[in-house]
Amino acid sequence: MQLVLEKRAERSQTIALISPLIAIGLTIVTMSLLFVILGKNPLAALDAYSIAPLTDSYSLQEIAVKATPLVMIAIGLSLCYLANAWNIGAEGQFLIGAVAGSWIAVKTQGTEAGHWVLPAMLLAGAAAGALYALIPALCRVKFGASEILTSLMLVYVADLLLDYLVRGPWRDPAGFNFPTTAEFDPVATVPVLIEGGRLHLGAIIALLVVAGAFIVLGRTIKGFEIRVVGAAPRAARFGGFNADQLILLTFAVSGALAGLAGIIEVAGPVGHLQPGISPGYGFTAIIVAFLGRLNPVGILIAGLFLALTFIGGEQAQITMKIPLDVTKVFQGILLFYVLACDSLILYRFRLISASRQVHRGAG
Amino acid sequence: MIKPCQRMSDVPPVVSPVRGTPLLQTVGLTKRYGDFVANDSIDLEIWPGQIHALLGENGAGKSTLVKTIYGLIQPSAGELRWQGQAIALSGPAQARDLGIGMVFQHFSLFDNLTVAENVALGLDGKESFKAISARLAQVARDYGLPLDPKREVWQLSVGERQRIEIVRALMQNPKFLILDEPTAVLTPQEADQLFVVLERLKAEGRAILYISHKLEEVKRLCDTATILRGGRKIATCNPKLETAASLARMMVGTEVKEVKPRGERRITVPRLVVNDLNLPPDDPHGVSLQHISLELKGGEILGIAGVAGNGQDELFAALSGERPVKEPGNIIIDGIACGHLSITHRRKLGAAFVPEERLGHGTAPRMRLSENALLTGHAAGDMVRHGFVNAAATLQTVDRATQAFDVRKAKRDPEAASLSGGNLQKFVVGREILRNPAVLVVNQPTWGVDAGAAAIIRQALLDLADQGAALLVTSQDLDELMEIADRIAVMFHGQLSAALPRSEATRERLGLLMGGSSIDGKDPAHAAGA
């Protein structure tokens, strides 16, 4: 007997929907093994990771807070990936957006500046993220440089720029030499939705982004263009769509969304600019995008799920002394299984007896 | 061994009257893919010194059958016998060891390697490169297949590339050679040369299985023909005793519809004009277009013949606007200079285009038909309003094309890749014709399409011309061009010959042009080619 992958006549809609669930199931099995190897009770660990955070209001709000940047970034990335443009540098665009928005906050600190400050910060963050994303996109279109490498490398540039600013020119004079800016003024802060809670306006913006992407991808000619350029480049050119322009556009949009997420994070939950404002949102969003099938609604669900693993990871660290890095292992294994299960959309397993093996030949 | 046609239904399989055992025999050979039966209990006998035609439409199961014989596919049931012995082939290497050779329709050659290097790569065994080169030259000379072992493949014509494949197969001294549509890419003269070689192989006692759907060719060359339809053997007969029409009837199962001759032709004003178009190639091995000029009037069909790879694809890209040219006046559609305009602009001017490759170029394979209707339909019409797609309008186009062109599909709006070649082509052509184009540029309208679909498509092209559109039809099928074109020009090395009226465009004249000879009276310096 032999197990072979056989091409399906049409893509399976059923598998497209359940493939992320299979991937999550396989991840749980693998993680359980890992917990056993670490000498932890796998049931307790899984409970800490995925059940416990759902049981109290603080954790639930915190999941939404963490999901907000993940979803916003992942929506932008999904547009890139659908169009076959590989933006891996959302983390850098997130940081640059945070820096650019913070510049306004720092400059207006302690002045009489009115309510225009926060909208200006959001605009600046989005614009800076878009411009920063256009660097690898332009290199790709003009010189054929791999956007995967250049966008990734620019992450470190952004990281070091932020580091320099908060240790140098923007450091809070009253901050005991900690590398951080002063707390932003109230007009430079994203308002919370529930008094005394952590849930902020960014969550609403993320939902609007999801709705917008849903409409653009499903109903507009631009959305069709994005999908067809990625799915069949030659047919797209025949249809009159310009792949180069689309790379620029999708990178700009995803950069803008990442930058917006960055400044919302800084002006919201964090409250000031400092190193380490992102626990790798820009990279985790890649997993979110694929786990969500590059579909806006899927991304919303996947973003909440990945946020759960962040919160669960912290809980597991506190209650069971499981290292925080295990969260990253969890996310990596998940992405691995998601991509693997995706082959089942176009292929299916078939058991073939040895005497009638299929040889795939030329022609 | 020559027998009148036996239909499976009324005559039980009979033992061949020839004494001895056949070289190769299939007994009840069956191949299933899930529920789909590609080959259903096929009995076939191949005798030494025989050229055996395998006839059938696309999807009849010809490829599956020969791939099984060549060891690329394992049968689900039934038996292969080689010289009377039952065999199970583990793969093509074992088939070659037995003496079975195959020349595929699509060549597997490396463009940047020389002829000898390509042959050496394809041979099993430990023969030195020098010995292979010498033997290659010897075999090529013996069979009258001139080949320079040191030339790089990208410099060679399609006919020469095919020679490499044939010589490579002959160097293994096969007893049995399978040829998959070998003349599809040849000029009539090149095909004649090939037939001489095949006759010679036959005289040497080798057997040949010849896949084709060019019926005249089969009648001329083959001793026996086996006809497949829907995975089953319909008949084995002597093609010389049949007519092309009777063979076609067996292949298709019904009478093939003849294309209605065109009525009163009303040639109007020029709708597509190309003025001295020059275009360097996109990639290093491409063809550069040189001094292409043509004028095409409303109500007229201009055919462009030529062996593949002589600039047809480049011309299509330039005419469609997939590769715009700098000089607007190079291409004029309905009086508007549009060489610099995009394909979308040109569609808005009333032009429509059908590329050669249906899957991946004409359509996005994994997208639904309605989305593929939008692919070209978004340029004009009511499919898009204020940036939003009118899904109902795209579906309506699918329905209209389905109805007008008899597109067979499993559901209302399936993925393009799930349609058969003929049905997808009907959809692609229908999608463009429903836009009522002023100018239609079509590349290979019926390539790889079954006879029924081909007739529908050709009729649609004629009808469109009758309605006053100007049609430019590029095809490698001379019969097709003879059937529908008013004038025929030939592409060779990126140049276009003057168009001959259909009455003067004999196969011989076109064949000479396809091989690079100039037309009498034409400036030889201009037509000499690159």
3-class secondary-structure state, position A304: helix
Coil/strand/helix, residue A25 = helix
Task: Break chain B down into helix, strand, coil percent, rounded to 5.
Answer: 35, 25, 40
CB-CB contact of B32 with B38 (8 Å) = yes
Amino acid at A198: R
Instruction: Copy the structure tokens of residue B306.
Output: 């030529």
Does residue B169 sit in the same domain as residue B181? Answer: no
- Whether residue B52 contacts residue B209, with contact meaning beta carbons closer than 8 Å, is answered with yes
**CA–CA separation, A14 and B398 (whole Å):** 25
pLDDT higher than threshold 60 for residue B520? no
Contact A355 B105 (CB under 8 A): no
Q: How far is B404 from chain A (nearest CA, A)?
A: 23
Among partner residues A227, A234, A356, which is closest to B361 by beta-carbon distance?
A234
What residue has token string 């998940």? A334
| Residues in chain A whose Cβ is within 8 Å of chain B | 9-11, 219-222, 224, 227-228, 231-232, 234-240, 355-359, 361-363
Contact criterion met (CB < 8 Å) for B379 and A240: yes
Structural domain contains residue B108 = no
Contact B322 A231 (CB under 8 A): no
A317 belongs to a structural domain: no
Across the interface, of B71, B76, B180, the residue whose CB is closest to A356 is B76
Instruction: Name, in order, each residue with C-beta under 8 angstroms of B47's C-beta and a sequence gap of 6 or more.
Output: B1, B16, B18, B22, B23, B207
Largest Cα–Cα separation, chain B: 77
Residues B127 and B205 in one domain: no
What is the distance, to the nearest Å, from the Cα of residue A92 to the centroid of all Cα atoms in its chain? 12
Q: In this structure, are B247 and B275 located in the same domain? A: no
Place of tokens 């996005």: B364
Which chain A residues have a beta carbon less than 8 Å from that of B389?
A: 219-221, 224
Query: CA of A141: how far to CAs of A127, A246, B31, in Å?
Result: 20, 10, 48
State how far the Cα of A116 lies from the Cα of A133, in Å rounded to an integer.
26
Query: Which pLDDT value is given to residue B420?
Result: 80
Element (H, E) at B81: strand B77-82
pLDDT in tens, B257-290: 666 666 667 888 999 999 999 999 877 777 899 9
- Of residues A11, A235, A356, nearest to B364 (C-beta): A235
pLDDT at B523: 44
What pLDDT score was predicted for residue A1?
63
Contact assignment for A228 to B342 by CB distance below 8 Å: no
| Count of beta carbons in the 10 Å neighbourhood of residue A158 | 24
Smallest CA–CA distance from B370 into chain A, residue: A224
Beta-bridged to residue B42, according to DSSP, are B29
What residues of A are in contact with residue B104 (Cβ under 8 Å)?
Answer: 362-363
For residue B329, the tally of other CB atoms under 10 A from its CB is: 14
In one letter, which amino acid is A85? Answer: A
**Residue B152 CB: number of other CB atoms within 10 A?**
16
Based on the domain organization, do B155 and B182 belong to the same domain?
no
Contacts of B63 in chain A (CB under 8 A): 363
**Number of neighbours of residue B159 by Cβ within 10 angstroms:** 19
Q: Is the domain of B152 the same as that of B65?
A: no
Q: Is residue B106 a part of any domain in this protein?
A: no
Q: Is B30 in a helix, a strand, or coil?
A: strand
The confidence score (pLDDT) of residue A353 equals: 59
Neighbours of A201 (CB within 10 A): 18
Pick A131 or B149 by higher pLDDT: A131
Q: Supply the pLDDT for residue B4.
A: 47
The two tokens of residue A172 are 């809070």
Select, from the ranges B39-53, B246-260, B279-293, B438-452, the one with the highest average predicted confidence (pLDDT). B39-53
Query: Mutating which of A215, A229, A234, A238 best tests the B interface, going by the most B Cβ atoms within 10 A?
Result: A238
Nearest partner of B422 among B42, B53, B60, judged by Cα: B60
pLDDT surpasses 80 at B5: no
A359/B74 Cβ within 8 A? yes
Q: Does B468 share its domain with B443?
A: yes
CB B278 within 8 A of CB B495: no
Chain A residues inside the 8 Å CB shell of B418: 9-10
d(C-alpha B51, C-alpha B25), whole Å: 15
Looking at the fold, whether B428 and B512 belong to one and the same domain comes out as yes
Residues of A in contact with B32 (CB under 8 A): none
Q: Are A205 and B333 contacting, i.e. CB atoms less than 8 angstroms apart?
A: no
**Residue B134 is part of which domain span?**
113-173
Distance of CA B218 to the CA centre of its chain: 16
DSSP B426-488: HHHHHHHHTT--SEEEEESTTTT--HHHHHHHHHHHHHHHHTT-EEEEE-S-HHHHHHH-SEE
Give the phi and the psi of residue B376 in degrees, each rounded to 5: -105, -20
Same domain, B224 and B285: no
Least confident of A350-354, B115-119, B219-223, B411-415: A350-354
Same domain, B350 and B425: yes
CA distance A45 to A34: 10
Co-location of B236 and B214 in the same domain: yes
**What CA–CA distance (Å, rounded) separates A134 from A128?**
10
Q: Summarize pLDDT for A274-311 with one digit per residue, the tens.
A: 998 998 999 999 999 998 989 999 999 999 989 998 88
Same domain, B348 and B420: yes
Q: Measuring CA to CA, how many Å separate B376 from each of A311, B45, B215?
A: 48, 49, 36
Residues of B with CB below 8 A from A228's CB? 364, 367, 371, 375
- Count up the domains in chain A and report the number: 1
Count Cβ atoms below 10 Å from residue A360 Cβ, excluding itself.
8
Residue A327 belongs to a domain: no
Backbone angles phi, psi at B493, to 5 degrees: 50, 40
pLDDT given at position B263: 63
Looking at the domain assignment, is residue B520 inside a domain? yes
CB distance from B393 to chain A under 8 Å? no
Q: How many whole angstroms separate alpha carbon A263 and alpha carbon A126?
A: 8
Give the number of domains in chain B: 3
Asked if A139 and A150 count as a contact pair (C-beta separation under 8 A), the reply is yes
Biggest alpha carbon–alpha carbon distance for chain A:
84
Whether residue B328 lies inside any domain: the answer is: yes
Residue B104 covered by a domain: no
Phi–psi pair at B352, nearest 5 degrees: -140, 155
Instruction: Let me know if residue B481 belongs to a domain.
Output: yes
Amino acid residing at A183: E
Whole-complex ipTM: 0.83
pLDDT value of position B462: 94
Structural domain containing residue A93: 68-292
- On whether any CB of chain A is under 8 Å from the CB of B511, the answer is no
Q: Are strands B301-305 and B470-474 parallel, antiparallel or unpaired?
A: parallel
Residue A182 lies in a domain: yes
Q: In this structure, are residues A292 and A74 in contact, taking their beta carbons and an 8 Å threshold? A: yes
Q: Is A52 helix (H, G, I), strand (E, B) or coil?
A: helix
* Residue A260 counted as domain residue: yes
Given B194, B222, B252, the domain boundary residue is B252
* Of the candidates B129, B205, B203, B123, the residue with the CA atom closest to the CA atom of residue B165: B123
The string of DSSP letters for B356-387 reads S-TBTTTB-TTSBHHHHHHHHHTTSSSSEETT
Residue B257 lies in a domain: no
- Residue B114 CB partners (closer than 8 Å, separation 6+): B149, B150, B151, B152, B153
How many CA within 13 A on the CB side of residue B391? 6
Is B347 in contact with A240 (Cβ distance < 8 A)? Answer: yes
What is d(CA A98, CA A126) in angstroms, rounded to the nearest whole number?
Answer: 9
Q: Is the per-residue pLDDT at B444 higher than 70?
A: yes
Range list of β-strands (E), chain A: 2-7, 347-352
Q: Does B159 fall in a domain? A: yes
Q: Are residues B330 and B478 in the same domain?
A: yes
Which mean pLDDT values do the consecutive 10-residue runs of chain A (363 residues) have?
A: 73 80 91 90 86 86 94 97 96 97 92 90 97 97 95 96 93 86 91 87 96 96 96 94 95 98 94 91 94 92 91 86 86 87 80 50 36
| CATH number of the domain within which B66 lies | 3.40.50.300
Q: What is the pLDDT of residues B401-426, one digit of tens each?
A: 999 998 888 889 999 988 888 889 99
